[in-house]
Amino acid sequence: MTLSQSLAELPAFLLYFGFGLILFLVFAVVYVRITPYRELAMIRDGNMAAALTLSGALLGFVLPLASAIAHSVSALDMVAWGVIALIVQTLVYLAVSRAVPHFRQAVEDGKVAPACLLAVVAVCIGLLNAAALTY
């Protein structure tokens, strides 16, 4: 393949990458708004629990998003599956935060164990979601 043939794919790359970035940012905004604590402020203050929960959620979202980019038949298809991944990760947070007693307070107090659980569950569900997108 020549360089000019490779560069012919640049518009498609920019389209998918751009939509991917937009979806990533939308997920990050949605996620920090649905959680009852202020992750970014807590992370700035050195709260490792907040950093773990947000990092796990972001990874759990981007895994199926990457799979959607790789396997989708169109940009609209990729966006649709990205929105589904956003919903799934939102449900992961809601389920884990309700399953662990006093989850909000634990994260605000910087307790790493419940935060680690949420991060790992988010990544595991993200991997399952990504694998399911290999249609």
Helices 10-34 & 48-71 angle (0-180, nearest 10): 150
The letter for the amino acid at 19 is F
C-alpha Rg value of the chain to the nearest Å? 17
Per-residue pLDDT of the chain (135 residues; tens, 9 = 90+): 787 777 888 999 999 999 999 999 999 999 999 999 999 999 999 999 999 999 999 999 999 999 999 999 999 999 999 999 999 999 999 999 999 999 999 999 999 999 999 999 999 999 999 999 876
